[in-house]
Amino acid sequence: MNNDIIINIQQLVKRFPIGKGEFTALKGITTSFRKGEFAGLIGPSGSGKTTLLNIIGSLDMPSEGEVTVLDVSVGSLTAKQAALLRKEKLGFIFQSYNLLQVHTVFENVEFPLLLLHYNASERKKMVMEALDWVGLTDKAQSKPSQLSGGECQRVAIARAMVKKPVLVLADEPTANLDATNSHTILRTMEKLNKELQTTFIFATHDEKVISYLHRKVFLDDGYIVKDEWVKND
């Protein structure tokens, strides 16, 4: 791993309006992530880990503070610029897979490439490569409804990885999976992290995920309470 910082967070505060008042989800977070990290935001429900992940992914905006992702200040992005950042540089993996149900596995994985205007033959090659990474080449023409939960999450990983993004953000990726499937997809992601040098940041409280992490950033009540390096490649 090199020391290039790709995410820099300074005094990040995030507030949400609730009725006439507001709720502060993040209370002055300062941290950074380097290229190639396999890191996790760990904490109980309501600790702010998903909120932080969403801000890093430019799906949400900071209330205060500065968040720089790949040399771009998230707070200053227009909706179009944020969409461009997500389209070109980021991959997302969600707890409930969020696959497009009426599309086939191939079409789901192909979707980010369509947005990037790859031609049909390039798309086919890249989709099949991504499905090969997750061991689902034989399911290319299946619909998500025909797959198990583990297979769905592997499709989601392929979709996140197909464009070889710099950064993949995974929100509770194993929450709906059994132990076997969880380990399978975690090993897949760990392999991709090593082979492609893709940075992975998880939001999780699943012990299985935590056991794979190289860096653990513990959050509680909107604060970072511990930042721990477990392994260093």
Beta strand pairing status for 90-93 and 167-171?
Answer: parallel
Q: How far is the CB of 214 from another protein (least distance, A)?
A: 25
Q: How far is the CB of 113 from another protein (least distance, A)?
A: 10
Nearer to another protein, 50 or 174 (CB): 50
Nearer to another protein, 54 or 174 (CB): 54
Q: How far is the CB of 103 from another protein (least distance, A)?
A: 6
With both helix axes pointing from N to C terminus, report the angle between 179-196 and 149-161 in degrees, rounded to the nearest 10.
10
Cβ atoms within 10 Å, residue 165: 20
Q: Can you say how many angstroms the Cα of residue 88 is from the centroid of all Cα atoms in its chain? A: 14
Any residues with CB less than 8 A from the CB of 44 and at least 6 apart, and which? 205, 220
Q: How far is the CB of 48 from another protein (least distance, A)?
A: 13
Nearer to another protein, 102 or 225 (CB): 102
Rounded Cα distance, 228 and 12, in Å? 20
Nearer to another protein, 94 or 216 (CB): 94
Closest Cα to residue 183, out of 149, 152, 211, 155? 211
Residue 118 is classified by DSSP as: -
Nearer to another protein, 86 or 214 (CB): 86
> Given the rule CB under 8 A, which residues bind another protein?
50, 54, 57, 59-60, 79-80, 83-84, 86-88, 92, 94, 96, 98-103, 107, 111-112, 114-115, 117, 159
Q: How far is the CB of 33 from another protein (least distance, A)?
A: 19
